[in-house]
Amino acid sequence: MANEGQGDHVTAELEPVVAGAIAAVGFELEQLDVAQAGRRRLVRVVVDGDDGVGLDEVAVVSRAVSAVLDEHDAVLGGPYTLEVTSPGVDRPLTRPRHWRRAKLRLVKIRPVEGDVFTARVGAAEEDPDGGVQVLVDGQVRRVGYREVAHAVVEVEFKQPPVAEMAMLEGRASGTEEDAR
């Protein structure tokens, strides 16, 4: 139990410097966890970016985070293992930027009230008190972020219908002419 509180303190102290190092290389810190793992600490960093995060980008972020952690080694209090990763497809959509990055993707939404539904994501507002345009059963509607209890991207194995994409992009009919 004592280690958990200590890890929380270390995480809180390191979060701003780690977030700054990640921002400096063009990405965003999604999550930082520091835990005791035997004699070492395990520093787990989850990063994301508008265009996703590939292996080359993970290496760049790893170097940047490692350098800043080495500068703050007194906070860690000894050796550490660094893990840098990107969020998986099953990451819940909890922030406006998650919705923005999921544009035109199919998502499963469990509202605070009502039944679960599947929708295609359109334009997402930046304001956390705002919402997102979604296409549900052929109709575009707005869903407030606070109305969503849980939402995740659904994996699709085929191209989305042209008509759905057109509706979310603001083209009137979704015909082939609109797609040109």
Q: Are 143 and 150 in contact (CB under 8 A)?
A: no
CATH fold of 96-174 reads SH3 type barrels. (2.30.30)
**Where does residue 82 rank: exposed (0-12), middle (13-18), buried (19+ CB within 10 A)?**
middle
- H/E stretch holding 18: helix 2-24
For domain 2-85, give its CATH number from 3.40.50.2000, 3.40.250.10, 3.30.70.1350, 3.40.50.2300.
Answer: 3.30.70.1350
Strand partners, 142: 133
pLDDT tens, N- to C-terminus, the chain (180 residues) = 334 445 588 888 899 999 999 999 999 898 899 988 888 889 999 998 877 778 888 999 999 999 999 998 888 888 899 999 887 777 788 889 889 888 888 999 999 999 999 999 999 999 989 999 999 998 999 999 999 999 998 888 877 778 787 888 775 444 444 344
Domain edges within the chain = 2-85, 96-174
The secondary structure of residue 143, as a DSSP letter, is E
What is the spatial distance between Cα 108 and Cα 14, in angstroms, rounded to a whole number? 34
